[in-house]
Amino acid sequence: MSLKRTRDTDERPAALDADSIIKDARRELAAPMRRLFGKRILTLGSLALLSGCELKDDSSVNTMLKRISFFNDDVQGWLFDPRKLAPTYPESMITRPFPFNAFYDIDDVPTVDPAGYRLKISGLVRGKRLWTLPELHALPQTSQVTRHICIEGWSAIGKWGGTPFSSFLKYAGADLGAKYVAFQCADEYSTSIDMPTALHPQTLLTFTYDGALLPPKYGFPMKLRMPTKLGYKNPKHIVEIIVTNTYPGGYWENQGYNWFGGA
Amino acid sequence: MPQITLHPAWLRLTHWVNAVSVLVMIGSGWQVYNASPIFPALRFPAAITLGGWLGGALLWHFAFMWLLVGNFVLYLGLNLATGRLCRKMLPLTPRSLFLDFYAALRGKLAHDNLSHYNAVQKFAYLAVILDIVVLVLSGLAVWKSVQFPLLRELMGGFDTARVVHFFAMTFLVMFFIVHVAMVMLVPRSLLAMIRGH
């Protein structure tokens, strides 16, 4: 910092006034500080410019965020304990009415003809590849009351009944060492999950809701119910299950939702 | 004039990294909140949110959480290891806090001595440190409610953890507003946080 110098040195003060020197110094300090403060405010303002912008506006930022999201998949896979159970609730705590939720309106729920329906299972499987509804309903059934957690933040408790997905994969002769299980749905929805979650004891291939046949709005003829994952990872109206080692993505995942989506 | 370093470099660095991560976390958090508001009457205007839509906001939120937590651990660790936290923030007695708060209400509390914090400052800085701990823990309970059952129950369940997260955010925003207002009253403190003296 440079102090102001007085050119005419004719009059030398006999003694330095400490107080006024400090005062002057303070005034000198204040000016650049105000400018700096203004600059800092501008920097905050430029950060604020990021607000409301779409991800696709900046591909390098987009790439960085996507990379961290894949890293978060690994973290969640590592955190996932295959023996840890999601909490279950008494039937008195079921949310009524259980909310309908999809990427379309309730009027656009697909209608699936039960008689002509066949569940296709493809990819790394050695067993039966086409299943009728009576064949699926004949599998050992169980039910559980669990919390559905939506990525939006709300949650609701519901009761789903069906067959443990791990048993179904074994009946179908699926390669349980494969990395992914992917789902194609009658409403053009798709998603995919990791094998450890597919084999989790609470992961059910469900055919009923609250003791009655799964209604269309909740995913007739079947929904994969996983209380260890967020709602969008639980596909409804499933028509095809693919066991694969190739990353399959999904409807929301391809738009930016985190792939693992664990709870 | 000898220059006394008020804020060591590590403190200034962690302070500004924290400031950026907190702004990103709040902006993206508001966008996430809007997807399913806890209070239907309260929505955050799109112009002050980050991410554009729920999916984009979550990408920001779950990226900058690492920066926030990593930086916070560094900040707290160095503060404890160097003894700075105890030296600067203690002692803090209810009496001194009461007297200083009363003085502040009458506009008679000095906060322009950068080398010394008054009791209200000490309380505010300690409270915001604790608040960030609550924010991170409640956020973890919301993010991984099944994997961290103890934390989930500590927060009163999944739904309550969201509410705790919301109010911890509210406290942080209030701190931010007061903090910036105080800095504007004593601009020298901003310079000190940038260059150290």
> DSSP string spanning A171-185?
HTTB-TT-SEEEEEE
Residue of A nearest to B60 (CA): A65
Q: What average pLDDT score do residues B81-106 get?
A: 92
| Substitution target from A49, A51, A103 for chain B, most B beta carbons within 10 A | A51
What's the pLDDT at B19?
A: 97
Confidence of residue B4 (pLDDT cuts 50, 70, 90): confident
3-state secondary structure chain B: CCCCCCCCHHHHHHHHHHHHHHHHHHHHHHHHHHHCCCCCCCCCCHHHCCCCCHHHHHHHHHHHHHHHHHHHHHHHHHHHHCCHHHHHHCCCCHHHHHHHHHHHHCCCCCCCCCCCCCHHHHHHHHHHHHHHHHHHHHHHHHHCCCCCHHHHHHCCCHHHHHHHHHHHHHHHHHHHHHHHHHHHHCCHHHHHHHHCC
Contacts of B62 in chain A (CB under 8 A): 68-69, 72, 258
Mean pLDDT value across residues B57-85: 97
Question: Is pLDDT of A2 > 50?
Answer: no
pLDDT at B114 over 50: yes
Percent of chain A exceeding pLDDT 70 equals: 78
Going by DSSP bridges, is the β-strand pair A238-244/A119-123 parallel, antiparallel, or unpaired?
parallel
| pLDDT value for B111 | 78
Minimal-distance CA residue of chain B relative to A27: B188
Q: Tell me what the mean pLDDT of segment A239-263 comes to.
A: 97
The partner residue sitting opposite A147, judged by closest CB among B58, B144, B158, is B158
Q: Which of 234-263 (A) contact B at CB < 8 A?
A: 252, 255-258, 262-263
The tokens describing B35, both together, are 């997807």
Sheet holding A190-194, edge to edge: A130-131, A119-123, A238-244, A180-185, A190-194
* Cβ(B150)–Cβ(A84) below 8 Å: no
Element (H, E) at A241: strand A238-244
CB A203 within 8 A of CB A165: yes
Q: Where are the alpha helices (DSSP H) in chain A?
A: 18-48, 59-79, 133-137, 165-171, 195-198
Given a contact cutoff of 8 angstroms between Cβ atoms, the answer to whether A224 and A235 are in contact is: yes
Structural class in CATH, domain A80-255:
alpha beta
Q: Within 10 A of A75 (CB to CB), how many other CB atoms are there?
A: 16
Count of domains for chain B: 1
Asked if the structure places residue B88 within a domain, the reply is: yes
Please tell me the distance from the alpha carbon of residue A162 to that of residue A209, in angstroms, as a whole number: 9
pLDDT in tens, B120-151: 999 999 999 999 999 999 999 999 999 999 99
3-state secondary structure of A229: strand
Task: Report, as an integer, the average pLDDT of A27-34.
Answer: 53
Contact A175, A124 (CB under 8 A): yes
Distance of CA A74 to the CA centre of its chain: 13
Confidence band, pLDDT 50/70/90 cuts, at residue A14: very low
A54, A68, A84: residue with CB nearest B56:
A54
What part of B 166-185 touches A (C-beta under 8 Å)? 183-184
Confidence band for B112, pLDDT divided at 50, 70 and 90: confident
Residue A37 has pLDDT above 60, yes or no: no
Angle at A30 between CA A29 and CA A35, to 5 degrees: 110
pLDDT in tens, A132-157: 999 999 999 999 999 999 999 999 99
Per-residue confidence (pLDDT) for residue A31, from 0 to 100? 54
Please answer yes or no on whether B146 and A84 come within 8 Å at the CB atom.
Answer: yes
Q: Which of A18-32, A34-48, B31-45 has the highest mean pLDDT?
A: B31-45
Contact residues on chain B for A69, CB-CB shorter than 8 A: 59, 62-63
Q: What's the mean pLDDT in A41-51?
A: 49
- B57, A256 Cβ separation under 8 angstroms: no
Instruction: Compare B67 and B1 and report the one with higher pLDDT.
Output: B67
Mean pLDDT confidence for A1-13:
40
Among the partner-chain residues A33, A66, A153, the one whose CB lies closest to the CB of B187 is A33
Question: With bands split at pLDDT 50, 70 and 90, how would you rate the model's confidence at A19?
Answer: low
Measured between beta carbons, the chain B residues lying within 8 angstroms of A37 are 183-184, 187, 190
End-to-end CA distance of chain A: 56
Q: Is residue B4 part of a domain?
A: no
- The pLDDT of A190-196, averaged and rounded, is 98
Q: Which amino acid belongs to residue B77?
A: G
Residue range of the domain that includes B157: 9-195
Q: Tell if the CB–CB gap between A151 and B54 is shorter than 8 Å.
A: yes
Which of B59, B158, B179, B188 best tests the A interface by mutation, with the highest count of A CBs <10 A? Answer: B59
Chain segment A64-120, per-residue pLDDT in tens: 999 999 999 999 999 999 999 999 999 999 999 999 999 999 999 999 999 999 999
Tell me what pLDDT residue B110 has.
81
Which of B92-117 are b and which e, b meaning 16 or more Cβ less than 10 Å from the residue's Cβ?
Answer: beeeeeeebeeebeeeebebeebeeb
Instruction: Indicate if the pLDDT at residue B6 is higher than 80.
Output: yes
Chain A residues whose beta carbon lies within 8 Å of the beta carbon of residue B23? 44, 47
Residue B169 sits at the vertex; the CA angle it makes with B14 and B43, to the nearest 5 degrees, is 130
Amino acid at A244: T
pLDDT in tens, B175-186: 999 999 999 999
Q: Is the pLDDT of residue A7 over 60?
A: no
ipTM: 0.92
B2 within some domain: no
State how far residue B109 is from chain A, nearest Cα, in angstroms.
20
Assess whether pLDDT exceeds 50 at residue A45.
no
The CATH number for B48's domain is: 1.20.950.20
Q: Which amino acid does the sequence have at A196?
A: P
Distance (Å, rounded) from C-alpha B43 to C-alpha B32?
10
Consecutive H or E run containing A209: strand A204-209
pLDDT mean over B59-70: 98
Q: Look up tokens 């505010």; give the residue.
A: B124
- A-B interface: how many C-beta pairs under 8 angstroms? 108
- Tokens matching residue A209: 């809701």
- CA B142 – CA B155 distance, rounded (Å): 9
Provide the pLDDT for residue A105: 95
Beta-ladder partners of A164? A204
pLDDT greater than 90 at residue B68 = yes
